[in-house]
Amino acid sequence: MDGTDVAITGVEKLQGDIRLLGIIVFSLWIILFIDHWVFRQRLRRAWGIKPRQTFNPATIILSQLVHNSRQHLFSNSIPLAILGLLTLLPDSRLFWPVTGTITLVDGIGVWYFGKRGEVHFGASGLVMGYFGYVLARGFFQHDTGAVLLAFVVAGFYVGMFKLLVLRKEGISFVSHVSGFVGGLVAAYVISLF
């Protein structure tokens, strides 16, 4: 395999990674429109996490898929695509274990610490999880390139740190924090292997 083959393989991998994230984000938009036009917003109530009520493991996954509005989903779509890509790039095989870890930690955190009587949904916990993962990966794996990337991402997404302390009606503070912690956990666990 010469350098040209490696470059082609790298470009093909990047194209595949972008395609996967495009499918994920596009699917979220389809679900939003189906929920709005077909189910009249009943999916978000059915699929959302209801803190400290009957525990439903399916809602841990399904809650990430539903959003309140186009603005809600739009605010998650771009960072989900960018941070998801940064999670995919180093090793695509780790994407689903990282995503699963973030989703699990976020869902359990929301169920346990969320305000009773509220319904939590949306991909912001996953976005914050990818953010935490990208920031922590280099430190746990002792990878200089990943540490430099973490500093660039932290500088570019400095506003995301505010989401870890922002408490505002309609914004799931506990999902942001739980997702971020899930990203840290994923980075640590993966560094052990």
In angstroms, the Cα distances linking 38 to 7, 49, 119, 120, 172 are 45, 21, 20, 21, 26
Q: Is 170 exposed, middle or buried (0-12, 13-18, 19+ CB in 10 A)?
A: exposed
Q: What was the pLDDT predicted at 173?
A: 86
For residue 166, pLDDT over 80 is answered with no
In angstroms, the Cα distances linking 26 to 21, 29, 31 are 8, 5, 9
For residue 168, pLDDT over 80 is answered with no
HSE-up of residue 158 (Cα within 13 Å, Cβ side): 4
Q: In terms of residue numbers, what domain contains 82?
A: 3-191
pLDDT tier, 160 (very low <50, low <70, confident <90, very high otherwise): confident
Q: What is the pLDDT averaged over residues 83-89?
A: 96
- CATH number for the domain harbouring residue 33: 1.20.1540.10
Query: What backbone torsions phi and psi does residue 60 show, to the nearest 5 degrees?
Result: -60, -40
